[in-house]
Amino acid sequence: DPQNDEIFYFFDWGDGTDSGWVGPFDSGVTVEASHKWTEKGSYSIIVKAKDTEGHESEWSEPLSVSMPKTKIINYFSIRFNRLFTLLDKLISIL
């Protein structure tokens, strides 16, 4: 965030559930989130950010994941590094 405001994140897990707004987190820090799917299948995860002033990003590009069975995944440690690059760009224009 250009003004260094704290950031909230909202995850849509692609299975009809979402995280609600989580945070706030310091601007620029890596955030971890996890989710448990109850059905096997493919899911498109999207996320958006909002700062404490209420400036909200657009939804991210979807990240597709396949769950062969129920798993808990720590997304930022595994695959969301590229998503944060996109979020950083979105937040910088808020």
What's the pLDDT tens digit per position in 27-65?
888 888 889 888 889 999 999 999 999 899 999 999 999
CB 87 within 8 A of CB 47: yes
Mean of the per-residue pLDDT values for the chain? 80
Structural domains of the chain in order of their starting residue, each with its CATH number: 7-92 (2.60.40)
Is pLDDT at 3 greater than 80 in this prediction?
no
Better-predicted residue by pLDDT, 32 or 12: 12
* pLDDT for residue 74: 55
The verdict on pTM exceeding 0.75 is no
Is pLDDT at 10 greater than 90 in this prediction?
yes
83: left (phi over 0), alpha (psi -120 to 50) or beta: alpha
